[in-house]
Amino acid sequence: MPEVFKNYIGGQWVEASTGKTFENRNPANWEEVIGIFQKSGKEDVDKAVAAAKSAFNKWRLVPPPERGKILRRVGDLMVARKEELAQLMTREMGKVINETRGDVQEGIDTAYYAEGESRRLFAPAAPSELPNKWAFTARLPLGIAGIICPWNFPMAIPTWKIFPALVSGNTVVFKPASDTPATGHRLVEILEEAGIPKGVVNLVHGGGSSVGIPIVEHPDINVISFTGSSKIGKEIAAKAGESLKRVSLELGGKNAQFVMNDANLDLALEGVLWGAYGTTGQRCTATSRLILHKDIHDKFIEMLLERVKKLRLGNGLDPNSEVGPCVNKSQQQIVDEYVQIGKAEGAQLICGGAIPEDPELAQGWFYKPTVFSGVTRNMRIFKEEIFGPVLSIIKVNSFEDGLETLNDSVYGLSSSLYTQDVNLAFRAVRDFQAGITYINGPTIGAECHFPFGGVKETGNGHREGGWTVYDVFTEWKTVYVDFSGKLQRAQIDNY
């Protein structure tokens, strides 16, 4: 019998008020059920918010370094369970075991970073314009944070949001993606074991409309941190706008790697293979467009095809597998639809473009690593996020042409330039319209202590990661202390 996973509300493991459940299955072998999860509804969200609200009054008064100590214990527990968590994650969402280990490691790094930040939470002070008066600022929690996560980084993304929310003194209502509820569930168990007080973290399993929307609409939730598609992000921003609720959005991408004619092509090849096919292309930072200078275009494609054809598809728990399945059937179908669109638009399908026929893969949502060449800027496969193992190649005549091509996107998350020319490298740093630019590295590979996020429709101006995410989860208080013993009027008595 598969394990039944409950919600966690006010420090109790409880069933959903709906009495309904859903199954979580392995995308590499759909006959394997990972577990049975609560299919919660608005009533469960209401209970979780009530628990978070009553816990907030105590939690906000706990000194931040004390909160940080709990997160250090969370990090230690994740270190001890890293392999178990990685295996569970591979079983529930498919990416290969090396990558799920990396996903857990990012959570560990984020926990220890959060402990460090708990002794900083720096807030500037500055001199007052009046004598015998001081002025400074402080960061205070907002209240309750609603945390809504996608399935592609089932550990890293929840930790990016939950840990800074907690260090800042907020309480949390967390909804993992319904494709990856088990990893999020284990994270909450670890928080409980590490000593997080009852009600400070609440877990509500379920879908976007039944749990996500009630979180966004709840009047007692003060801030929403959402990672997911731009379409849902826009809906959330519109809803939250009605009550002026703070919203931090990390959304889609259509990231490009640009290879100049002076680049180290072997290095650029390793970069694009990892960037385009890591996590089966299901990363917000995945390399989805490859921009090649005309001088190296044909040669680079030849080098690329030789390697892409050899990529080994398979169950991510098998150490020989290099590319896992798509997360579910509908994602596999979306990928195939985009392949048909690309063909109809006149791009050349030069590799992959089909569901593999290998009987060993027949029980999973696999798709062959795919390459299109001859792509042009008007094509949908150039413009739209596919979120699968599909790479679109476009040829350009010069650095300027490549720059304009790279920037021709509604998205602006990650970007990459391969060149040996330091002048071009710095032009890319300045001129690529993206939140992240890599020089001689692929579009993927963020580090937890730096800001993460994008421009244009990739987000709404907030950043996760590093010190910047603490801006999302804190409210500024400005404090003036006048010890002159008399009324001093700013802008009047000193002029």
Catalogue the active-site residues: 250, 284
Piece in contact with ligand NAD (CB under 6 A), picked from 6-14, 64-72, 225-233, 355-363: 225-233
Q: How far apart are CA 100 and CA 82, in angstroms?
A: 9
Instruction: Decide if residue 472 touches ligand NAD (CB under 6 A).
Output: no
- Tell me the residue nearest to Mn ion as measured from the CB: 92
Instruction: Decide if residue 102 touches ligand NAD (CB under 6 A).
Output: no
The residue within the footprint of ligand NAD, chosen from 52, 108, 148, 191 (CB under 6 A), is 148
Answer with the entry of Mn ion, ligand NAD, none that 102 interacts with (C-beta below 5 to 8 A by kind): none
Size of the chain, expressed as the number of residues it contains: 495
Min CB(25)–Mn ion separation in Å: 6
The tokens for 167 are 């260090």
The tokens for 216 are 């966004």
Answer with the entry of ligand NAD, Mn ion, none that 145 interacts with (C-beta below 5 to 8 A by kind): none
* Residue 427 three-state SS: helix
Q: Tokens 């930040």 map to which residue?
A: 117
Closest of 381, 323, 371 to residue 348, by C-alpha:
371
Min CB(93)–ligand NAD separation in Å: 10
Answer with the entry of ligand NAD, Mn ion, none that 121 interacts with (C-beta below 5 to 8 A by kind): none
Give the Å distances, CA to CA, from 281 to 68, 114, 309, 439.
35, 29, 16, 20
Q: Measured at the alpha carbon of residue 172, what is the angle toward residues 250 and 245, in degrees to the nearest 5?
A: 55
Instruction: Identify the bridge partners of residue 420 per DSSP, sorted by sequence position.
Output: none
Instruction: Decide if residue 387 touches ligand NAD (CB under 6 A).
Output: yes
Answer with the entry of ligand NAD, Mn ion, none that 92 interacts with (C-beta below 5 to 8 A by kind): Mn ion
Closest of 209, 206, 174 to residue 192, by C-alpha:
174
Instruction: Decide if residue 284 touches ligand NAD (CB under 6 A).
Output: yes
Instruction: Decide if residue 336 touches Mn ion (CB under 5 A).
Output: no
Answer with the entry of ligand NAD, Mn ion, none that 232 interacts with (C-beta below 5 to 8 A by kind): ligand NAD
Instruction: Decide if residue 200 touches ligand NAD (CB under 6 A).
Output: no
The tokens for 376 are 């042009």
Instruction: Identify the bridge partners of residue 12 per DSSP, sorted by sequence position.
Output: 9
Q: How far is CA 205 from the centre of its chain?
A: 19
3-state secondary structure 51-99: HHHHHHHHHCCCCHHHHHHHHHHHHHHHHHCHHHHHHHHHHHHCCCHHH
Residues 448-467 touching ligand NAD, rule: CB under 6 A, are 458
Instruction: Decide if residue 372 touches ligand NAD (CB under 6 A).
Output: no
Piece in contact with ligand NAD (CB under 6 A), picked from 82-90, 203-211, 259-267, 388-396: 203-211
Min CB(103)–ligand NAD separation in Å: 11
Answer with the entry of Mn ion, ligand NAD, none that 24 interacts with (C-beta below 5 to 8 A by kind): Mn ion
Q: How far apart are CA 228 and CA 401, in angstroms?
A: 31
Instruction: Decide if residue 150 touches ligand NAD (CB under 6 A).
Output: yes
Instruction: Decide if residue 178 touches Mn ion (CB under 5 A).
Output: no
Instruction: Decide if residue 176 touches Mn ion (CB under 5 A).
Output: no
**Footprint of Mn ion (CB under 5 A):** 24, 92, 179
